[in-house]
Amino acid sequence: MKKDKSEKLFEKAKNYFPGGVNSPVRAFRSVGGTPMFIDRGKGAHIWDADGNEYIDFCCSWGPLILGHANPKVVDAIKQTVEKGSSFGAPTELENKLAELILSNNKFIEKIRFVSSGTEAVMSAIRLARGFTKRNKILKFEGCYHGHSDSLLVKAGSGLVTFGNTSSAGVPEAFVNETIVCPLNNKDAVKEAFSKFKNEIACIIIEPIPANNGLLLQDKDYLQFLRYICTENKSLLIFDEVISGFRIGFTGAAGHYNIKPDIITYGKIIGGGLPVGAYGASSEIMSKISPDGDVYQAGTLSGNPVAMAAGIAQLTECLKPGFYASLERKTQFLIDEIQKAAGKNSKVKIFTVGSIFWLAFTDKEKIQSAEEIDADSMKYFRKIYHELLERGVYLGPSGYEVGFVSEAHTVEDLRKAGEVIGECLKKI
Ligand SMILES: *Cc1c(COP(=O)(O)O)cnc(C)c1O
């Protein structure tokens, strides 16, 4: 496999960017070697600077549910950008995307568009604090919510802890407002609420945790979180930046039929352009400025080009059978992998909707971060470069999930399934 061009580009990039990248996981540190510099994508395929072709299951980390350069999305972007790329004033496209979302989602009544998932979550947390007039937030070990200060916090040693910061530059004082509990553990959450009675503004959870493996929770657990929040007048935030529009149009809220107080979106919502959003009841959203006293703003928020891409993509998602077809494709891929890997393979494939995760484990279920064996990541590292050589592109870390898009054909899935399965068989 030729890599000269990617290697040269990476060497050059190291002069410009820390680690040569603009987001850390892209540097390939957990699998080693040089990241591929991508030249173009079409459907389920991407091509790197050296001309190597891959079937892509990273899909830009989830946003590209229609695959790369979907003609409808590309046309919408072109037509819109011809008319100007940003005005800092309202446009009809914002109404249209909001209408499309709100009229098909019974869990939220109003929405605010921002420019990334991180921004959506950061704003939702401020809203929860402003609405409840409380400071503390409760998050779970193994959930990722973007890189805002309050959320770059990992568990300490006890069951219920003020976390330790997971990044330099986050003040101790911030960390002291964030309580961290293990997933799938009711006692920890109960203990937190009894320890910090009337102090917890919100629980934030990825209802389908998919940033640290795929840690599927029981419905009963999510219902318990709903109940304990209501009981304590705390808000429940579902961070659906990954699961929103992925596990059905209404995401995990619809999948489990549980109504959180605030939902955050990102990734798919922008059709591959930078969009995030948060939504809630009209009552809660009325706290946001200029109606209310919780400030939140953005120069490029509701950007027309990004709105147009989002409208084009979500319109496709709303077509009958869209999600059922994605799920069938994903199941087909998994069956093909397992067929090729054989019975003795070390891998277990966890899945929901069109998300899948290759886990190297004997466990029937993995529902919390501490159940993941860090040592098992060596198996992922072992197969990763062979997968690339054989034309299959996964996110470059064993903790990352894969995504199937509408653009993956049966042929793509059969070929990728065989390649992944054969690589797995060797270890
Ligand atoms: C990706 C992600 C984020 C962060 O979104 P960015 O657009 O990368 O800022 C937050 N929460 C969840 C659940 C995510 O998957």
Same domain, yes or no: 216 and 305: yes
Same domain, yes or no: 259 and 113: yes
Residue 208 structure tokens: 């389908």
Which residue has the least CA distance to atom 15 on ligand 1?
A: 242
Taking the centre of ligand 1 as the mean of its atom positions, its distance from the CA of residue 147, in whole angstroms, is 8
Active site residue 239: yes
Same domain, yes or no: 46 and 106: no
Residue 374's domain spans which residues?
A: 4-69+321-426
How many domains in the chain?
Answer: 2
| pLDDT at position 344 | 79
| pLDDT at position 129 | 98
Q: Which of 304, 319, 321 shows the shortest CA–CA distance to 97?
A: 304
pTM, full prediction: 0.97
Residue 343 structure tokens: 């019975």
Contact 238, 263 (CB under 8 A): yes
Same domain, yes or no: 339 and 313: no
Same domain, yes or no: 126 and 247: yes
DSSP character at residue 288:
B
Contact 228, 165 (CB under 8 A): no
Which residue has the least CA distance to atom 8 on ligand 1?
A: 117
**Ligand 1 mutation target, pool 241, 247, 401, most atoms within 8 A of CB:** 241
| pLDDT at position 28 | 96
Domain end residue (candidates: 282, 317, 352): 317
Same domain, yes or no: 224 and 338: no
Q: Which of 391, 396, 364, 392 shows the shortest CA–CA distance to 377?
A: 396
Domain end residue (candidates: 270, 291, 317): 317
Angle at 65 between CA 300 and CA 13, to 5 degrees: 60
Active site residue 75: no
Catalytic residue from among 54, 136, 265, 267: 267
Same domain, yes or no: 417 and 365: yes
Give the 3-state DSSP-derived string for 107-154, with helices as H, strands as E and coil as C: CCCEEEEECCHHHHHHHHHHHHHHHHCCCEEEEEECCCCCCCHHHCEE
Sign of CA dihedral 2, 17, 384, 31: positive
For residue 63, CA distances in Å to 38, 177, 208, 241, 373 come to 16, 31, 16, 9, 28
Stretches in the chain below the pLDDT threshold 50: none
DSSP character at residue 318:
T
Same domain, yes or no: 262 and 301: yes
| pLDDT at position 352 | 98
Domain end residue (candidates: 261, 286, 317): 317
Q: How far apart are the first and last CA of the chain?
A: 22
Atom of ligand 1 nearest to the CA of 239: 13
- Is the peptide bond preceding residue 63 cis, with omega within 30 degrees of 0? no
Same domain, yes or no: 255 and 389: no
Q: What is the CATH number of the domain that holds 78?
A: 3.40.640.10
**Ligand 1 mutation target, pool 122, 206, 211, most atoms within 8 A of CB:** 211
Q: Which of 51, 46, 42 shows the shortest CA–CA distance to 73?
A: 42
CA distance 67 to 297: 31
Catalytic residue from among 54, 144, 256, 399: 144
Same domain, yes or no: 195 and 302: yes
| pLDDT at position 271 | 98
| pLDDT at position 158 | 73
Catalytic residue from among 239, 379, 393, 412: 239
Atom of ligand 1 nearest to the CA of 206: 13
Contact 112, 288 (CB under 8 A): yes
Phi, psi of 179 (to 5 degrees): -95, 135
Which residue has the least CA distance to atom 11 on ligand 1?
A: 145
Q: What is the CATH number of the domain that holds 30?
A: 3.90.1150.10
CA R_g for the chain: 21
Same domain, yes or no: 218 and 244: yes
| pLDDT at position 86 | 98
CA distance 382 to 403: 21
| pLDDT at position 154 | 87
As a whole number of angstroms, the longest Cα–Cα distance in the chain is 60
Taking the centre of ligand 1 as the mean of its atom positions, its distance from the CA of residue 144, in whole angstroms, is 7
Same domain, yes or no: 103 and 188: yes
Measuring from each residue's beta carbon to the nearest atom of ligand 1, which residues come in under 6 Å? 116-118, 121, 144-146, 206, 211, 239, 241-242, 266-267, 276
DSSP character at residue 36:
P
Residue 24 structure tokens: 């850390």
Q: What is the DSSP string of 330-370?
A: HHHHHHHHHHHH-TT-SEEEEEETTEEEEEE-S-S---SGG
Taking the centre of ligand 1 as the mean of its atom positions, its distance from the CA of residue 242, in whole angstroms, is 7
